[in-house]
């Protein structure tokens, strides 16, 4: 049981790799994928389908003109449909064999700095760098593949992700900057308490049931699933950016404020719902106690409207090193 913390004290949550816990479903599902002949991870399955080689990629995109990441039929342009169009043209393989997947299915209008995806091929790629360049020649200018590389043979961009970071950008300037109109929420027309904003972010840190901050999916099946998630950190950064080593720095003169939230996973529209609630507290509509009550009641109808999609960016996704990178030739098995 966690000890009670001093009021206002920053809370640190230990990051964990769920694959190392034999009792966790991630560990069990991974082991099952190796033992089940019908699994995508199985050599037998690959031989049967022609999916002999797996590759991972990193894609960055401005999501303004897209209906999210996931393919939604032929009449809607999505990041997945664009990637598949390019991959099919370059490899001459069909969509079913490529079996492209991603770390997260970002919504319409949401951006990504580091969306990780994977796909399969029959034959190994001759040159991964040239393959990346070929993709970018075929893609629109608002989508760019940043890397193509060989991971562990059993890599899966969604199931093996152990940590995700989203960034939400808010422009407090008045007038707002026209250069950030597609990537930031403009709120300069009203007053916000920055101290309350920071305190509201801290409420979410830790392991909680986030049912109140989850929207219902189209089929409603997500309402039946476990809504407990762990938020490792929820940081407020004024302007600035990130140095090469990952250290973030601030620029007090900037009108932009970045909210960085890192967790082991997120529910449908969870981040945008949390940001909407945080801004309602910072704007004086609700209190910190109200925010805690919303979480306790687990009722989506109680919390404010979600923040708009344009301010949200999938910032980073992390994996166990042994899955993310290709093992040396002498390695015959994955360490768990």
Work out the angle between the directed axes of helices 270-282 and 288-297 (0-180°, nearest 10): 150
Residue given tokens 């300037």 in the structure block: 173
The backbone torsions φ and ψ at residue 82, rounded to the nearest 5 degrees and listed phi first, read -70, -45
List residues bridging with 49 in a β-sheet.
Answer: none
248 DSSP β-pair partners: 242
**Of residues 95, 82, 152, the one with CA closest to residue 121:** 95
Residue 152 CB contacts under 8 Å (≥ 6 apart), including other chains: 322, 323, 324, 325, 326, 327, 334
* Cross-strand pairs, 106: none
Question: Is residue 107 annotated as part of the catalytic site, yes or no?
Answer: yes
Instruction: Name the active-site residue from 18, 62, 75, 107.
Output: 107
H or E element at residue 225: none
Q: Which residues are catalytic?
A: 107
């Amino acid at each position: 049981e966690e000890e009670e913390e001093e009021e206002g004290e920053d809370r640190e949550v230990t990051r964990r790799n769920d694959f190392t816990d034999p009792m966790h479903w991630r560990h069990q599902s991974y082991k099952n994928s190796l033992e089940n002949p019908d699994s995508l991870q199985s050599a037998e399955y690959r031989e049967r389908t022609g999916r002999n080689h797996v590759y991972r990629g990193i894609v960055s995109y401005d999501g303004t003109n897209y209906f999210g990441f996931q393919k939604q039929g032929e009449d809607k342009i999505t990041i997945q449909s664009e990637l598949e169009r390019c991959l099919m043209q370059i490899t001459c393989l069909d969509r079913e064999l490529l079996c492209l997947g991603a770390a997260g299915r970002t919504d319409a209008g949401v951006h990504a700095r580091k969306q990780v995806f994977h796909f399969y091929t029959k034959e190994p790629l001759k040159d991964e760098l040239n393959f990346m360049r070929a993709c970018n020649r075929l893609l629109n200018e608002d989508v760019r593949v940043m890397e193509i590389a060989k991971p562990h043979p059993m890599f899966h961009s969604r199931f093996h992700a152990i940590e995700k970071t989203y960034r939400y950008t808010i422009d407090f300037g008045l007038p707002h900057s026209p250069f950030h109109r597609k990537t930031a929420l403009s709120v300069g027309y009203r007053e916000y308490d920055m101290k309350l904003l920071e305190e509201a972010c801290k409420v979410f840190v830790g392991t909680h049931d986030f049912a109140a901050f989850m929207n219902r999916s189209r089929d409603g099946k997500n309402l039946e699933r476990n809504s407990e998630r762990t938020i490792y950190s929820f940081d407020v950064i004024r302007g600035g950016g990130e140095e090469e080593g990952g250290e973030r720095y601030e620029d007090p003169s900037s009108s932009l404020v970045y909210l960085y939230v890192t967790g082991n996973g997120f529910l449908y529209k969870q981040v945008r719902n949390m940001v909407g609630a945080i801004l309602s507290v910072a704007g004086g509509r609700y209190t910190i106690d109200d925010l805690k009550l919303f979480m306790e009641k687990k009722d989506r109808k109680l919390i404010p409207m979600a923040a708009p999609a344009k301010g949200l960016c999938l910032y980073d996704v992390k994996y166990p090193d042994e899955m993310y990178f290709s093992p040396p030739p002498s390695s015959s098995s994955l360490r768990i």
